[in-house]
Amino acid sequence: MSPLDLLDVDASLGEEERQIRAVVRQLVDDRVRPHVAGWYEDGQVPARELAREFGKLGLLGMHLTGYGCAGASAVAYGLACLELEAGDSGVRSLVSVQGSLAMYAIWRFGSEEQKQRWLPAMAAGEAIGCFGLTEPDHGSDPASMTTRARRDGDDWILNGAKMWITNAPIADVGVVWARTDEGVRGFAVPMDTPGVTAREIRRKMSLRASLTGEIALDDVRLPADARLPEAIGLKAPLSCLTEARHGIVWGALGAARDCLETALSYATTRTQFGRPLAGFQLTQAKLADMAVEWNKGLLLALHLGRLADAGKLRPEQVSVGKLNNVREALAIARECRTILGANGVSGEYPVMRHANNLESVLTYEGTSEIHQLVIGQRLTGLSAFA
Q: Which residues are catalytic?
A: 365
Closest of 211, 202, 239 to residue 108, by C-alpha: 239
Residue 97 to residues 8, 78, 139: CA-CA distances in angstroms?
31, 14, 17
State the Cα–Cα distance between residues 158 and 362, nearest whole angstrom: 31
Contact criterion met (CB below 8 Å) for 80 and 251: no
Backbone dihedral angles phi then psi of residue 135, each to the nearest 5 degrees: -120, 165
Q: CA angle, 16 as apex, 32 and 324 as ends, to 5°? A: 65
Q: What CA–CA distance (Å, rounded) separates 98 from 63?
A: 12
Q: Are 311 and 331 in contact (CB under 8 A)?
A: no
165-175 CB burial, b ≥16 within 10 A, e <16: bbbbbbbbbbb
Give yes or no for a contact between 305 and 78, defined as CB atoms under 8 angstroms apart.
yes
Residues paired with 135 in a beta bridge: 138
Q: What is the 3-state secondary structure (H, E, C) of 269-319?
A: HCEECCEEHHHCHHHHHHHHHHHHHHHHHHHHHHHHHHHHHCCCCCHHHHH
